[in-house]
Structure 1
Amino acid sequence: MSAINRVTIIEIPKVHDHRGKLAVVEKDVIPFLMKRIYYLFDVPSDAYRGGHAHKKQESLLIALSGSFEVVVNDGEHKKRVMLNKPTKGLFIPTGIWREIDNFSSGAICLVMASTEFTEDDYIRDFGDFVASKTGK
């Protein structure tokens, strides 16, 4: 199986009553122990974020507001995923290149990460990323 197939949409459970909706992310919803949360906002529509892969970190991306697209690449295969619902998260396992673009006005991208920040975990050059996959 291609590593790109491990990038999956995860349903975020929600509760609805007359007061509105509530989405809940608990430890049994995501396939890793969360160590860090951050979010992207006020990203211009012509800008992109990401442009890296992680050696150890796994991530879950959720569009809390608005929409954006995530391009994931395992070094051989690439796919584009639109995120536009706060009840759907994109699970990105270790070793997947990601770029986030096409941010709508007011978009907020929540990221839940399995590790604390360390620069050593990042692969920021796409050529280095591909070389890490092929051993060349």
Structure 2
Amino acid sequence: MHNSVNDCRFVDLPMFPDHRGKLSFIQNDQSLVDFDFARLYFLYDVPFGGQRAGHAHRALRQLFFAFSGAYDLHLDDGFEKRTVRIEQPNRPFMVRPNIWRIVDGFTSGAVCAVLASDLYDEEDYIRDYETFFEYARGLK
């Protein structure tokens, strides 16, 4: 199934502010996203000008958070490209399978946390852009 960069979207988490600060949450009940979480990983202390990702996933679904600071998420479905700025902890961004992603533009102290639909599986990765491009074009 071909996913478009336009199928990827921000998710607005509930937020409860009061004089003590703000509280937001997400539960593994598919009320806000259409997948269960199997793994959490996070990127931090990324050097100035550093870049992460540079791959696509065949099946994995992900939810990208900015727990601190901000960063850019560049998406490519083989037909269209899109860039979003992730900068609010209560507004993660959901990325569908078969989307090439690059993460960069990290601010000082940025923490990128990602909820993933499955455990790590190297077979799910497409790490070469030309291979991805051919794969994505074949899915349409």
TM-score by length of 2: 0.93
Paired residues for 1:22-37 under 5 Å: 22-26=23-27, 27=29, 28-37=31-40
Match of 1:97 in 2: 100
Instruction: Confirm or deny that 1:15 pairs with 2:46.
Output: no
Distance in structure 1 (CA, Å) of the matches to 2:3 and 2:115: 24
Kept after mapping to 2: 8 A contact 1:45/1:101: no
Distance in structure 2 (CA, Å) of the matches to 1:4 and 1:99: 13
Paired residues in the alignment total 136
- In structure 2, the gaps of 5 or more residues are none
Match of 2:89 in 1: 86
Kept after mapping to 2: 8 A contact 1:66/1:106: yes
Percent sequence identity is 36
RMSD over aligned CA atoms reads 1.5
Higher strand share: 1
Give 1:30 deviation, angstroms.
2.1
| Amino acid paired to 1:48 | Q
Detail structure 1 runs of 4+ shifted over 6 Å in the superposition: none
TM-score by length of 1: 0.95
Kept after mapping to 2: 8 A contact 1:59/1:92: yes
| Amino acid paired to 1:25 | I
- In structure 1, the gaps of 5 or more residues are none
| Amino acid paired to 1:20 | G
| Amino acid paired to 1:18 | H
Kept after mapping to 2: 8 A contact 1:59/1:113: yes
